[in-house]
Amino acid sequence: MNEELEFETYLNINPNKFEIYLYDTKNLINLYREEIILNENINSTDLNILKKFLDNNIFKIEKLSGKFVENIFI
């Protein structure tokens, strides 16, 4: 069975910030966008910061879309 995905989740990891997006592929609009800018003392290799960012935002995305996030495009 080939189902077209209605929502796509994207994660962007840069040296100075993390961004996450929820994109509605049927209506071609961005439904959710959140970013955290890392200061000079924190870098993108700090996995605890990334984990906390994902924990907070994945929950919000799942609530907004009404579906569990199964795939994230990085």
Query: DSSP letters of 30-47?
Result: EEEEEEEE--TT--TT-H
Order across the sheet with 72-73: list the strands: 29-37, 17-24, 7-13, 72-73
Question: How far is residue 68 from each of residues 58, 59, 65, measured CA to CA in Å?
Answer: 9, 9, 8
pLDDT range class, residue 2, cuts 50, 70, 90 = very low
Of 74, 63, 62, the residue nearest 19 (C-alpha) = 74
Higher pLDDT, 42 or 24: 24
Query: Mean pLDDT over all residues of the chain?
Result: 88
Q: Which two tokens stand for residue 9?
A: 């989740």
